[in-house]
């Protein structure tokens, strides 16, 4: 498993479907990049407005709660900027509209590194299914990185808005069943758990979650903690 680090990116963009996804999928890695001095930003496609079983809850109220939770969680990781696209939770589609929205953010923020979900995952060993929004955001993000953001004749109106084409150098795909790269996040697990604890509407037992995160990331051979990715180094 490759773990030799890439040169520290100046700008990192995490693109995910729901509030709490950036923290669950790659919270240690984002905390590590932010602590090292990278400018990290998140795009969150939905505001998680279906994630409650409380009888009194409405989607509008839940969206506001979850955006505030995500903003606080990102801040705990050292990430000052979260862009919410406000697509409906549970109904995210790999549409050209979503691709344009992501292309616009990539051209605006100009990240060398983009981190997103693996769009190929329908289920995981051990009996859990992947959320369709996670697949959709992964696929739309990959498509926006290549070829759309790179080639200037895609969405030529962006050029008129002052947004030049942009070539992303690295993609780290989280939650992949075939990871080829890992990042040592041992010094950032505490920060990740602190960030996750901000999602109060979703998490009832933070102690249990803390144990789960440590167990999931731990390498028994050296007692260090790692997050795993499929890394793509863009040649084009």
Q: Which residue is associated with the tokens 């919410």?
A: 84
Which chain residues interact with Zn ion by CB under 5 A? Answer: 18, 21
Q: Could you give the CA distance from residue 73 to residue 51 in angstroms, rounded to a whole number?
A: 17
Q: Compute and round to an integer the Cα radius of gyration of the chain.
A: 17
Smallest distance from the beta carbon of 190 to Zn ion, in angstroms?
A: 23
CB 7 within 8 A of CB 33: no
- Per the CB < 8 A criterion, the answer to whether 45 and 87 are in contact is yes
Residue 227 in 3-state DSSP?
strand
CA dihedral sign of residues 117, 44, 28, 143: positive
Judged by beta carbon, residue 134 or residue 225, the one nearer Zn ion is 134
Residue nearest to Zn ion (CB): 18
- Closer of 139 and 184 to Zn ion (Cβ): 139
18 vs 158, beta carbon nearer Zn ion = 18
Indicate the residue among 82 and 149 with the shorter CB distance to Zn ion.
82
Q: Shortest distance, CB of residue 202 to Zn ion, whole angstroms?
A: 10
Closest CA to 229 of 134, 147, 151, 117: 117
Q: Which is nearer to Zn ion, 21 or 184 (CB)?
A: 21
Q: Helix (H, G, I), strand (E, B), or coil: what is residue 63?
A: helix
- Shortest Å, Cβ 101 to Zn ion: 18
C-beta of 133: minimal distance to Zn ion in Å? 6
Cα 173–chain centre separation: 9
Q: What's the rounded Cα separation, in Å, for the pair 206 and 212?
A: 10
* In the complex, minimum distance from the CB of residue 75 to Zn ion, in angstroms, rounded to a whole number: 19
Cis peptide before 137 (omega within 30 of 0): no
Q: Toward Zn ion, which CB reaches closer, 21 or 23?
A: 21
Nearest C-alpha neighbor of 86 from the set 59, 112, 109, 125? 59
Minimum CB separation from Zn ion for residue 136, in Å? 11
Tell me how far the alpha carbon of residue 52 is from its chain's centroid: 21
We find the least distance from the C-beta atom of residue 13 to Zn ion, in angstroms, to be 17
Q: Which is nearer to Zn ion, 25 or 155 (CB)?
A: 25
């Amino acid at each position: 498993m490759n773990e030799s680090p890439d040169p520290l990116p100046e700008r990192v963009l995490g693109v995910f479907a729901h509030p709490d996804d950036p923290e669950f999928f790659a919270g240690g890695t984002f905390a590590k990049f932010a602590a090292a001095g990278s400018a990290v930003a998140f795009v969150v496609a939905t505001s998680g407005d279906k994630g409650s079983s409380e009888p009194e809850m409405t989607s509008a109220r839940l969206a506001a709660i979850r955006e505030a939770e995500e903003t606080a969680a990102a801040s705990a990781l050292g990430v000052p900027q979260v862009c919410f696209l406000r697509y409906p939770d549970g109904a995210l589609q790999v549409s050209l509209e979503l691709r344009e929205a992501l292309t616009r953010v990539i051209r605006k923020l100009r990240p060398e590194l983009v981190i997103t979900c693996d769009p190929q995952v329908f289920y995981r060993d051990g009996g859990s299914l992947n959320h369709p929004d996670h697949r959709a955001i992964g696929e739309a993000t990959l498509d926006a990185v290549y070829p759309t953001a790179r080639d200037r004749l895609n969405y030529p109106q962006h050029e008129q808005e002052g947004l030049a084409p942009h070539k992303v150098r690295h993609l780290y795909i989280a939650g992949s069943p075939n990871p080829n790269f890992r990042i040592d996040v041992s010094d950032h697990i505490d920060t990740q758990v602190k960030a996750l604890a901000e999602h109060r509407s979703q998490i009832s037992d933070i102690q249990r979650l803390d144990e789960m995160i440590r167990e999931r990331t731990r390498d028994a051979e050296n007692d260090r903690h790692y997050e795993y990715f499929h890394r793509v180094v863009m040649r084009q």
